[in-house]
Amino acid sequence: MREILWHGRGGQGVVVAAQILAEAAYLQGFKGVTSAPTFGPERRGAPVTASTRISDEPIRTFSQIEQADIAVVLDDTLFKVVDVLSRLKEGGLIIINTPLPADQTGINGCFDIATVDATGIALKHYLTKEGAPVINTPLLGAVARATGIVSLDHIEKALQGKLPKEAVARNFTTVKVAYDETKIRVRDEGQKA
């Protein structure tokens, strides 16, 4: 089973991204998928988490994820207010929305790091909502690239089930671009492109 924690801010679509990934995994043939938000006093801009579990077998665990295999960070300023790494297993993978390369993120420890400028991609492709860049869908492309868990075809099908028809093409364009632009640094193995 792979356990994924999504870290973002209220209004960034953390819960929706977790749901779309779970749907894509289900469409890909995984027998066990779950997606859950973490509720609290969230408001727009406040730190928010959601989770996705993906397994070849049915999932019987519905508790909160304590230690994730993968962390997806939609806003790199969260590192200043949330201890993201404390909830990531040693040897885990962290995927960060940042224009910085992995070796400039300031992350130390035994983690694989994937970076992608999801904000820049969203702005370049005019994917905005209420003036803010939509970064959750490009990060699905980064997840697909860095993990290999789901294919781009299945992400596109999941988007079709979640978004209005006219929004699918623009969102999927950013998924594909993020997939291509994601840079991965594997610990002790150098740079993997």
Domain boundaries, the chain: 2-182
Classify residue 33 as left (phi > 0), alpha (psi -120 to 50) or beta.
Answer: beta
Q: What is the pLDDT of residues 87-124, one digit of tens each?
A: 999 999 999 999 999 999 989 889 999 999 999 999 99
> Quick one: pLDDT at residue 43?
65
Percent residues over pLDDT 70 in the chain: 94
* pTM reported for the whole predicted model: 0.93
CATH number for region 2-182: 3.40.920.10
Give the CA count within 13 Å in the CB-facing half-sphere of 90. 2
Q: What is the pLDDT of residues 22-41, one digit of tens each?
A: 999 999 999 999 999 886 66
Distant-in-sequence, close-in-space partners of 25: CB < 8 Å, separation ≥ 6: 33, 52, 54, 149, 150, 154
Which DSSP symbol is given to 150? S
Question: Which of residues 44 and 53 earns the better pLDDT score?
Answer: 53
With a cut of 60, say whether residue 49 has pLDDT above it: yes
> Quick one: pLDDT at residue 78?
94
Q: What is the pLDDT of residues 132-150, one digit of tens each?
A: 999 999 999 999 999 999 9
